[in-house]
Amino acid sequence: MSRRRTIRNERHVPGGPLLFQRMYTRLNCEGRPPQFEVEFYPYANLTHSIRLRREIAHVRLSDLLREAPLEVIEAAAAILLARLYRRRLPREMLHRYRQYSHGEATRRRLHALRRKRARPKIVRARGQHFDLEPMFDELNGRYFQEGLARPKIGWSAKRWRSQLGTYDPALNQIAINCALDRPDVPQYVIDYVLYHEMLHQKHPMKLARCRLESHSRAFREEEKKFSEYRRAMKFLTRFA
Ligand SMILES: [Zn+2]
């Protein structure tokens, strides 16, 4: 068997196209369903994607789902289809998926996966204008009674378009967008972005990446305790 075929077989999702057709019908999507091509994909996260190209829907499911129960794969399919075809997602589907994705076992496997696959994206803590480690220590004393263990901290290697910072529990790492390391950015703004990521460290969440998670009410309340919260928000609105 050729290497290529081996790889393709590893990615094969048994019954994948039929499963997607079933969900297509269940969501009352209109018209003839596309042809579904479904594979497991080694994402570094619990991520799935669907792309429609000329009657063919290319689906990639995180290979973490390989061992998931059938209902969870169905729920993931329904979530993707509902998004693509703008259909209402049955609540029990979302619930089923979340029970899986928020579960302790899934989270553990996800962390192991990220440690293996995610490339560290940070360079150093000392930037051109701001040094993040002493800033962390100072905030830790001011707002957390020194209660947080200092994770790896650094400026992102590249400028990010849509994120100011991230906290990745699997890598135990805070990264701050290097686009902020500029002399015309006030220190309270960097402090605020860092403080926000430190709150993620304190309030563990599902994926704990700013773009994917919801910020809980407790999180938002505590965020407002930052002394220059309004000023920082105002600056960042203009900055973006
Ligand atoms: Zn966040």
Q: What is the pLDDT of residues 109-123, one digit of tens each?
A: 988 888 888 766 788
Distance 196 CA to ligand 1 centre (A): 6
Amino acid at 148: L
Local confidence band at 205 (pLDDT 50, 70, 90 cut-offs): low
CB-proximal residues (5 Å) to ion ligand 1: 210
Distance 200 CA to ligand 1 centre (A): 7
The predicted pLDDT at position 134 comes to 98
Distance 40 CA to ligand 1 centre (A): 28
Q: What is the mean pLDDT of residues 10-39?
A: 92
Q: Among 92, 66, 69, which Cα is nearest to 79's? A: 92
Indicate the domain borders of the chain: 3-117, 132-239
The predicted pLDDT at position 2 comes to 42
Distance 15 CA to ligand 1 centre (A): 37
Distance 151 CA to ligand 1 centre (A): 16
Tokens of 154: 């650094």
User: Would you say residue 172 has pLDDT above 50?
Assistant: yes
CA distances from 201 to 37, 96, 103, 140, 179 (A): 38, 26, 18, 11, 22
Distance 215 CA to ligand 1 centre (A): 6
Distance 68 CA to ligand 1 centre (A): 28
The predicted pLDDT at position 225 comes to 97
The predicted pLDDT at position 213 comes to 52
pLDDT, tens digit, for every residue of 211-232? 445 688 889 999 999 999 999 9
Distance 59 CA to ligand 1 centre (A): 28
Local confidence band at 86 (pLDDT 50, 70, 90 cut-offs): very high
Residue 227 DSSP symbol: T
User: Would you say residue 106 has pLDDT above 90?
Assistant: yes
Distance 210 CA to ligand 1 centre (A): 4
- CATH superfamily assigned to domain 132-239: Metalloproteases ("zincins"), catalytic domain (3.30.2010.10)
pLDDT, tens digit, for every residue of 178-198? 999 999 999 999 999 999 999
CA distances from 6 to 61, 165, 184 (A): 18, 39, 54
- For 69, residues 6+ apart whose C-beta sits below 8 A from its C-beta are 100
Distance 240 CA to ligand 1 centre (A): 16
